[in-house]
Structure 1
């Protein structure tokens, strides 16, 4: 894919990049089957209601690219995000990328990984926390009524304590 170079602002460019990235791996939402990019665009819209910081808005669009897309399509890499959107956006995306994954910590069970990830997220920047709160809120909306909702809500209680709740 050729770099996005037409004259659009950073936020619009990030929307297009997110759609291209998640579509490149045919990623869909687990419970609805909707194209995955609908989630990141909803998160970005929620964040837009709270800030006009264009780096935060761009990062909201890109918040799942490194975690979900890069391992399957390295074309959408840290370096590419840096080149297309700058160091500030990349730093926010890195803050929002899970560290305590099964791949990185295969000997830890899910509960231990989630606890460590919550502790890590308690230390991210306020700008990243804004995005993470919107992400969690949108995830909750998509899980309502799903059999996994109760487990998910239990795991997220501590996150709500450290990040605050989206209102």
Structure 2
């Protein structure tokens, strides 16, 4: 009976420790959702680090041990199409710092009804140029593939095969 109780006590302690660790992790991390204002797919970078590739919605987790202050970029390839400075970038006046210790509030990013959500505004003019360049590149690739294809009228393979016929 003592062995059973000892094993039960150890298992209960491990379970409680695991739950406490999970709750601690959940409370120290905050999920932030990043979207573009045109709902298109982009590579999203946070402070120069790639968080999500080629997606319309990027969800990442950040620690609340540091102040919520980040630069978010929406890119296609190496071209930045939109930048957002998200979080708390303004410094409160000295009197507010002395009277109210609001550092804990500034560690957590601003949350709305659906949690922390950052919307990056995309530069429409640059996006049109990037889209046009991407389309031109796709058409050139397709044209090159067609010219190399045995079905192409300019194909050497096709000319060789039909040269025997009168």
Is the pair's TM-score, using the shorter chain for normalization, greater than 0.5? no
TM value normalised by structure 2: 0.20
**TM-score with structure 1 setting the length:** 0.19
